Amino acid sequence: MARIFATRRANWTPVLLLTPAIVTMLFVVAVPLLFSLYTSLTAYRLVRPETLWTFVGLRNYVRLFENRDFWVAFGRTILFLTIALNLEFILGLGIALLIAKITWGQRTLRTIMMFPMMFSPILVGFQFKFIFNDNIGILNNALQSLGLTDRAIPWLVDAKLAMFSIIVAEVWMSTSVFAILLLAGLFAMPRDPLEAARVDGCNAWQVFRHITLPFIMPFAFIAMTIRSLDVARAYDIVHVMTGGGPAGRTELLWTMIARTGYSDARMGQANAMAYVSTILSILFTWYFYHKLMAARRYMGGVQ
Amino acid sequence: MTALAPARPLKKRLQSTGLWLLTFVLMVIMCVPGLWVMLSAFRPNREILAKPPIWVPEALTLGNFAKIFGFGAEQVGIPVASYFANSMIIALTSTVIALIIGMAGGYAFARYRFRFKGGIFLGLMLFRAVPGIALSLPIFMVWSRLGLIDTKPGLIIIYVSLNVPFTVWLIDGFFRQIPMSLSEAAQVDGCTRWQAFWKIEFPLARSGIAAAGVFAFLTSWNEYALASQLTRSTDSKTLPVGLMDFTAQFTIDWAGMCAMAVIIIIPALIMTFLVQKHLIAGLTFGGVKG
């Protein structure tokens, strides 16, 4: 009754309320993105401003797609995200299940878990650069003091180890997002279906697989949606830890954009790359948001 | 079941010890990196660089902090105090503006039905998803034409728009939890909708709005990719950008960097602890309950 009343009378109120939000987004995101799209079709170089008007069509994109380094960085970015997000989800789920089992000190544990969430990505990068430093880092110092190795392991110098170190930093930073949201899901879960399943003779795995997991999946999708909004913050970590090195072996899409745009001053080319990365991020967010909505409808049906 | 009964207490005790041990190890992994940086901030640089390593600190000092703030005998040529002031001004201003815009938007989503509602919400989210470094290229070009490069307003505008989608999401969730009947009752009693909002709904959602505010503050406080390209000098450089000043020097001053890291983390730490409970509630309810 009241709801119908509200919609009929106040048609313009929501529009008015939303206008500031939409205007800001248009001004700071949509307009620059359009400009970026245009620039990606020009031969714009920062050092030669007049080149902004040299229209070259799709040349930047063609060059990009023919560029082997780009595809390598692209593939590495996808691989990096796949590994990092899966690890974060699995570890977060494990931690959430663990803490849900513990009956004492849960609040304190949850507070400790929030610790990595407040770190600036640039700080996380610095912190792990400090830890993984081959000469003075705590990790090598510990390994050497314990006699596990007699030489300094070049964590950030060797290409494979550097990628590993970056993934460790990324996972350290973001696992708690999953852990905290999944834990909230576990707390919100009704007890009755669990007990009913036990009475019916389900074992622990079956209960987990068919009751717990489906119930907490929406919470996992919230975490995925939140994460997908800022996957690109890995840029900060890589930038601090290796700067894309050694010899471009830890270069991700985002560090490549920064290098092409600002160091090489090839704005047209960089904008083409930026467009690819933007589309990637948007698809990613859209996918998880879609999943979240589907899970929400499913939950709504159950309740 | 009865046959297993005698074995159970021991098994259970082992299980719970195992759980605790595992939890303890995990917590150590979560805490040690940050704590190590914090500890190192109070150690002299030569102790950090020592070979073989010195595990138990021999001397704790506030010298690193004095040094980066420009006091004492040893000084670092990095204006940390003005970076701190810039960070505070930029983060606080953008948070307040984002909260006002987010409250209006969140209220609209929570209380009204209108066309393209889902589409607009998704649109806000997708705009937020654009990677900072990708967005920095066109903003750099547009801002340099508008004269906004290396100014505080330049960054504030960007951070407001970075924060709007998320504050809308969170605040929408908090308003939804408040029954509509409360403000309707107030309206029946003679309040206008505006009065009902400020007297009934706003006080109830206040802690949630504070949580959204802290989230926005942290986003602005911690942002690097955009700030690093759009700031140049002490007029607008923020702390995360300033941290990288250290790497431009000939030798890395680990102790100084650690001290600066502590400066960056402490405000974030305090704020998060104040609102942590509401923050989690906001994220989950905003997302799950439709």
Based on its alpha-carbon atoms, the radius of gyration of chain A, rounded to whole angstroms, reads 24
Per-residue pLDDT band at A302 (split at 50, 70, 90):
very low
Q: What is the pLDDT of residues B170-199, one digit of tens each?
A: 898 888 888 888 888 888 888 888 888 888
CA R_g for chain B: 25
Q: Are A95 and B221 inside 8 Å of each other by CB? A: no
Q: How do residues A173-196 score in pLDDT, each as one tens digit? A: 999 889 988 988 888 888 888 888
d(CA B86, CA B65): 18
Q: What gap in Å lies between CA A148 and CA A196, rounded to an integer?
A: 51
> What's the CA gap between B100 and B41, in Å, rounded?
38
Give B181: exposed, middle or buried? Use CB within 10 Å, 0-12, 13-18, 19+.
Answer: exposed
pLDDT over 90, % of chain A: 36
- Pick the residue with more confidence: B161 or A57? B161
Contacts with A259 from chain B: Cβ below 8 Å: none
CA quadruple A177, B163, A127, B259: dihedral positive or negative?
Answer: negative
pLDDT at B287: 57
Give B252: exposed, middle or buried? Use CB within 10 Å, 0-12, 13-18, 19+.
Answer: middle
Residue B44 has a pLDDT of 86
Cβ separation B137–A271 shorter than 8 A? yes
* Mean pLDDT, residues A149-158 taken together: 85
Other beta carbons within 10 angstroms of residue B178's beta carbon come to 18
pLDDT, tens digit, for every residue of A37-67?
998 898 888 778 788 888 888 888 998 999 9
The CB density around residue A175, as the number of other CB atoms within 10 Å, is: 27
- Of the candidates B135, B280, B35, B25, the one whose C-alpha atom is nearest the C-alpha of residue A25 is B135
Q: What is the pLDDT of residue B2?
A: 47
User: What distance in Å separates residue B50's CA from the closest CA in chain A?
Assistant: 8
Q: Which residues contact A52 (CB under 8 A, 6 or more apart)?
A: A39, A42, A44
How many inter-chain contacts (A to B, CB under 8 Å) are there? 284
Any CB–CB contact under 8 A between A217 and chain B? no
CB-based contact (8 Å) between A90 and chain B? no
Q: Quick one: pLDDT band at residue B273, thresholds 50, 70, 90? A: confident
Inter-chain CB proximity A21 and B48 less than 8 Å: no
- What's the pLDDT band for A1 if we cut at 50, 70, 90? very low
Q: For residues B170 and B279, what is the distance between their CA atoms, to the nearest angstrom?
A: 8
Average pLDDT, chain B: 86
Burial class, A188, CB count within 10 angstroms (exposed 0-12 / middle 13-18 / buried 19+): middle
Distance CA(B227)–CA(B222), nearest Å, equals 10
Check CB contact under 8 Å for B133 and A219.
no
Give the pLDDT score at B162. Answer: 92
**A148: pLDDT confidence band, cut at 50, 70 and 90?**
confident
> What is the pLDDT at residue A2?
46
> What average pLDDT does chain A have?
86
Average pLDDT over residues B245-254: 77
Q: Looking at residue B193, what is its pLDDT? A: 84
Asked if the model's pLDDT at residue A152 lies above 90, the reply is no
**Domain spans in chain B, listed from the N-terminal domain onward:** 5-68, 80-288
| Per-residue confidence (pLDDT) for residue A190, from 0 to 100 | 84
**B31 Cβ contact partners less than 8 Å away, ≥ 6 residues apart:** A112, A115
Does the beta carbon of A213 lie under 8 angstroms from any beta carbon of chain B?
no
For residue B260, give Cα distances in angstroms to A233, A255, B55, B222: 20, 24, 22, 13
Phi/psi for A42 (5° steps) reads: -120, 175
User: Comparing A93-97, A123-127, B55-59, B61-65, which segment has the lowest mean pLDDT?
Assistant: B55-59
pLDDT of residue B230: 92
Compute the CA torsion angle A80, A85, A90, A91 (nearest 10 deg): 80
Structural domains in chain A, CATH included, are: 1-31 (no CATH), 68-302 (1.10.3720.10)
Q: Give every CB contact of residue A205 below 8 A, 6+ residues apart in sequence.
A: none
Looking at this predicted complex, what is its ipTM?
0.86
Helix (H), strand (E), coil (C) string for chain A: CHHHHHHHHCCHHHHHHHHHHHHHHHHHHHHHHHHHHHHCCECCECCEHHHHHCECCCHHHHHHHHCHHHHHHHHHHHHHHHHHHHHHHHHHHHHHHHHHHCCCCHHHHHHHHCHHHHCCHHHHHHHHHHHHCCCCCHHHHHHHHCCCCCCCCCCCCCHHHHHHHHHHHHHHHHHHHHHHHHHHHHHHCCCHHHHHHHHCCCCHHHHHHHHHHHHHHHHHHHHHHHHHHCHHHHHHHHHHHCCCCCCCCCCCHHHHHHHHHHHCCCHHHHHHHHHHHHHHHHHHHHHHHHHHHHHHHHHHHHC
Q: Is B90 within 8 Å of B222 (Cβ atoms)? A: no
In the structure encoding, which two tokens stand for residue B25, read together?
């190890």
Q: What is the token pair recorded at B119?
A: 């589409």
Residue B184 tokens read as 């309707």
Sign of CA dihedral A229, A255, A117, B271: negative
Between CA A125 and CA A169 the distance in angstroms is 7
Tell me whether residues B138 and A101 touch, CB distance under 8 A: no
Residues B203-227: tens digit of each pLDDT: 888 888 888 899 899 999 999 999 9
The residue-averaged pLDDT of A221-227 equals 88
* Chain A environment of B288 (Cβ under 8 Å): 188, 218-219, 222, 296, 299
Question: Which position has the higher pLDDT, A182 or A11?
Answer: A182
- Output DSSP code: residue B2: T
Position B1 scores a pLDDT of 44
Residue B150 zone, left/alpha/beta (φ > 0; ψ -120 to 50; rest): left
**Four-way CATH pick for B80-288: 1.10.3720.10, 3.10.20.30, 1.25.40.340, 3.20.20.80:** 1.10.3720.10
Buried b (16+ CB within 10 A) or exposed e, B80-115: beebbebbeebbbbbbebbbebbbbbbbbbbbbebe
Closest CA to B134 of A61, A80, A271, A58: A271
Over residues A153-162, mean pLDDT: 88
Segment among A62-66, A208-212, A241-245, A297-301 with least mean pLDDT: A297-301
Report residue A238: phi and psi, to 5°: -65, -40
CB spacing of A226 vs B283 below 8 angstroms = yes
From chain B residues 159-218, the ones with a CB under 8 A of any chain A CB are 160-162, 164-166, 168, 180-181, 184, 193, 218
Residues of A in contact with B108 (CB under 8 A): 13-14, 17-18
DSSP secondary structure letter of residue B201: I
CA distance to partner chain A, nearest, from residue B288 (Å): 6
Predicted confidence (pLDDT) at residue A8 exceeds the cutoff of 60: no
The model's confidence at residue B72, banded by pLDDT at 50, 70 and 90, is low
Sign of the C-alpha dihedral, residues B28, A88, A133, A232?
negative
